[in-house]
């Protein structure tokens, strides 16, 4: 089984930035977005994140799966929240009284009556939610495709994460292809013994139990190897001194500009929020 | 080997956390083809047993990293992007069972197995609850929607996988530990 990362060098403008600067910027923008329920400001962030997405030079074919996943989850949440629950949505939405559709359904046998009341405010809130979720998704979808996995360890260390934790991350990335190969070898060996994982037979519990002949050998082999790795690292005095990294990251002026821009965005968002400009807004033209 | 402090994070913990994370990622991707019968587009994830088991076997920090980093790598490989609150939820799924790490004496004993099963349920509940509630903050959905669309499906799936596979992994680990003298 080939387990490969989606990253490849695209020579895009986005890849010129230091990964640490990109992470800081993404997190600052994420917190900025979450402060707003006014669609006018959220549209600004949507344009900003889609602009970043465009700079990454990604193709629809590469990201199609990710976008389908996002759209499916978003649709499910927004539809359920707008049509069926909304019992805890933000205040302005709950106070909305401008009805678009209203009817009652009586559920037979139990006799429960379901009151359905769709208002202008709820519909507009659904649209606001979509814009917000798309902004956040566009912000982070680019990362797996435009950040070299070999740099993750050095990146997170450079962001202040403790040495051992950053090294754990680095080591995890290195183990992925090895364990992917071990998984394939185990699968082939089990198939040679009559094991058929693709056959969808039995109920849910049977299917999960059927995974044990795959999961257990791969896991136990990995654990046994782990003792050898730990001994080898101890023999090389791992953890006694500050670690150096093969990947050397260096900030440039434009990285500081990017981080500064992110800080400005968050600062401005906090100020606007404190003055009440971030609250949910419905255009007056939609209110009958 | 004698058990150290619950919160130790030495060389051994670094290696097992990395292995747990990589295993979680690989097995998640490899088992993507498994679908819940009669539930469109919903896959079950046997791999969730990995952070739970690693927490029980090596401590809460190992469980936390195996779940957090494993889910992060799995999303990277699948191209889904970054969903940090779900990474945190998966991390907690491994962290919580790890809290009973020092009380586990022999993974074959009924008492230890029962303890592990209880912590599997608690870990899945805590992890998926945190992730689902975080979704409220991000997406603006209300609590009921979050529970219905996020918590319930993920909790049930993870609990079932954990309850079935974690004891199997524990017994297998006890066997290799006994044979190899570790």
Structure confidence by residue, pLDDT tens digits, A72-108: 878 877 777 777 665 545 555 555 667 777 777 777 7
A123 confidence band (pLDDT: 50, 70, 90): confident
Two tokens at B110? Answer: 């009924």
Residues within 8 A of A (CB atoms), B 16-75 only: 16-19, 21-23, 25-27, 29-31, 33-37, 41, 44, 46-47, 49-50, 53, 57, 65, 69-70, 73, 75
Closest by Cα among B61, B59, B54, B58 to B27: B54
Closest by Cα among B49, B55, B47 to B17: B55
Alpha-carbon distance A178 to A222, whole Å? 10
In a mutational test of the A interface, the residue from B15, B71, B176 whose CB has the highest number of chain A CBs within 10 Å is B15
- B140 and chain A: CB distance < 8 Å anywhere? yes
* Per-chain mean pLDDT for chain A: 84
According to the model, what pLDDT value does residue A267 have? 96
Structure confidence by residue, pLDDT tens digits, A220-255: 999 998 888 888 988 888 887 777 787 788 899 999
Q: What is the pLDDT along chain B (182 residues), one digit of tens a residue?
A: 456 788 888 899 999 999 999 999 999 888 765 554 444 344 578 899 999 999 999 999 999 999 999 998 888 777 666 788 889 999 999 999 999 999 998 899 999 999 999 999 999 999 999 999 988 877 777 788 888 888 988 899 899 999 999 999 999 999 888 665 54
The verdict on ipTM greater than 0.95 is no
- A13 and chain B: CB distance < 8 Å anywhere? no
Contacts of residue A19, defined as CB under 8 A and 6 or more positions apart, other chains included, come to A147, A148, A151, A152, A155, A249
Domains and CATH numbers, chain B: 11-180 (1.10.1760.20)
How many contacts, defined by CB atoms under 8 Å, are there between A and B? 223
Alpha-carbon distance A9 to A47, whole Å? 25
Q: Please state the domain extents for chain A.
A: 11-147+251-280, 148-249
For tokens 């401005």, the residue is: A268
Contact between B100 and B55 (Cβ < 8 Å):
no
Contact between B91 and B124 (Cβ < 8 Å):
no
pTM assigned to the model: 0.81
Closest by Cα among B167, B171, B176 to B108: B171
């Amino acid at each position: 089984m080939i387990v490969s990362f989606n990253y490849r060098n695209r020579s895009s403008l986005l890849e010129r930035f230091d990964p640490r600067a990109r992470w800081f910027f993404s997190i600052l923008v994420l917190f900025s977005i979450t402060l707003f329920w006014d669609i006018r400001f959220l549209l600004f962030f949507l344009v900003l994140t889609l602009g970043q997405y465009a700079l990454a030079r990604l193709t629809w074919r590469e990201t199609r799966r990710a976008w389908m996943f996002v759209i499916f989850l978003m649709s499910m949440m927004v539809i359920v929240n707008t049509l069926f629950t909304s019992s805890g949505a933000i205040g302005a939405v709950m106070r909305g009284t401008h009805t678009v559709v209203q009817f009652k359904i009586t559920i037979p046998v139990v006799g429960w009556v379901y009151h359905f009341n769709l208002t202008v405010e709820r519909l507009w809130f659904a649209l606001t939610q979509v814009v917000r979720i798309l902004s956040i998704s566009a912000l982070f979808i680019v990362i797996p495709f435009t950040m070299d996995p070999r740099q993750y360890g050095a990146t997170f260390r450079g962001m202040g994460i403790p040495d051992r934790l950053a090294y754990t991350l680095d080591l995890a990335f290195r183990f992925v292809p090895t364990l992917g190969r071990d998984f394939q070898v185990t699968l082939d060996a089990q198939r040679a013994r009559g094991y058929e994982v693709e056959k969808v037979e039995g109920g849910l519990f049977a299917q999960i139990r059927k995974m044990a002949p795959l999961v257990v050998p791969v896991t136990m082999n990995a654990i046994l190897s782990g003792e050898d790795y730990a001994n080898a690292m101890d023999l090389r005095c791992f953890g006694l001194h500050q670690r150096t990294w093969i990947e050397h990251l260096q900030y440039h002026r434009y990285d500081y500009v990017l981080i500064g821009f992110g800080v400005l965005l968050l600062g401005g968002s906090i100020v606007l929020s404190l003055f009440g400009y971030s609250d949910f807004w419905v255009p007056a033209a939609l209110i009958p | 080997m004698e058990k150290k402090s619950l919160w130790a994070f030495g060389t051994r913990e670094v290696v097992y956390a990395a292995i747990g994370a990589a295993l979680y990622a690989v097995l998640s991707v490899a088992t993507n083809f498994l679908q819940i019968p009669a539930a469109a587009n919903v896959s079950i994830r046997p791999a969730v047993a990995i952070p739970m088991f690693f927490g029980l076997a090596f401590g809460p920090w190992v469980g936390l990293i195996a779940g957090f980093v494993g889910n992060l790598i799995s999303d990277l490989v699948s191209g889904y992007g970054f969903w940090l609150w779900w990474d945190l939820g998966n991390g907690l799924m491994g962290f919580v069972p790890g809290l009973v790490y020092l009380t586990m004496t022999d993974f074959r004993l009924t008492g230890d197995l029962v303890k592990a099963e209880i912590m599997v349920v608690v870990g899945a509940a805590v992890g998926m609850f945190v992730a689902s509630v975080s979704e409220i903050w991000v997406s603006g959905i209300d609590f009921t929607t979050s529970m219905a669309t996020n918590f319930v499906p993920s909790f049930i799936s993870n609990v079932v996988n954990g309850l079935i596979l974690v004891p199997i992994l524990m017994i297998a680990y006890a066997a290799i530990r006994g044979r190899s003298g570790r």
